[in-house]
Amino acid sequence: MNIAVLALQGAFAEHRAMLERLGAQTFEIRQASDWQKPKDGLVIPGGESTVIIKLLHELGLFAEIKESIERGLPLFGTCAGLISVAKRVENSAGEPERFGGPEIFYPGLATMNICACRNAYGRQLGSFYTEAPMLISSQEHILPMTFIRAPYIKEVGEGVKVLATVDGKIVAAQQGNQLVTAFHPELNHDTTIHQHFLNLCRQ
C-alpha cells in the first residue's frame, strides 16, 4: 500500500506518520514528476485552501490530480483538503468563494458533491477540540476531533453520505472512495479514520 501525500503546505508530515503507523508506505507530492509514482490513494492535508489550489495550478498538478480522483483514486481530504474538492465553496457570510485574486481565478478540484463553508467556525481563536460520534463502516465510533479555522459542509448532494456532525453542522462525509473531514484526525492519536481510508484504498 503506497499513499501519496500532497506536501505543498499543512500537516502532511503528521498524516504520513499516522499512515506509516498503520503499515502503509507514503511519499510526498511536491512537483509534477512526483505524481508519476505508483499510488493507491491520495491525502490532501489541511493548510490554506487558496494557497494549495493556486500551487496545484502553478505546479502543473491540478489536471492530473482531478482526473485521477474522478477516475476512482481514493482520496482523504482534511480541512483545506475538504474545501479543495468541494463542488461549491462559500465564506462564512454565505457568499460564493473564489480562489485567487480579482485578475486570476483558480478553480478548485470540485470532485465531491458538497458545498463547503470556509472558516465557518471562526479564525484561529475559534479553534477547538471535542469528541463526537462518526459513522465508519456502519458502526459509530466516538472520536477525538481537533478543529483549526475549520470549515463545515453546508449541503450534501447525490451520492454523499454524512458521517459526522458537531453542533448540527456536517463535519465528515464520504462519496464513493472520497473521504473528507473538517477536523484534523492526524493531530490526535486515534487511527480509526486513517484505517478507514486505507480500507477504501484496498477495495
Catalytic positions, written as ranges: 79, 184, 186
Which of 27, 36, 30 lies closest to 1, judged by CA? Answer: 27
Tell the burial category of 95 from Cβ atoms under 10 Å away from its Cβ (0-12, 13-18, 19+). exposed
C-alpha cell at position 195: 484505517
Residue 102 has φ and ψ, to the nearest 5°, of -65, -25
Task: Give the integer Cα–Cα distance in Å for 67 and 110.
Answer: 11
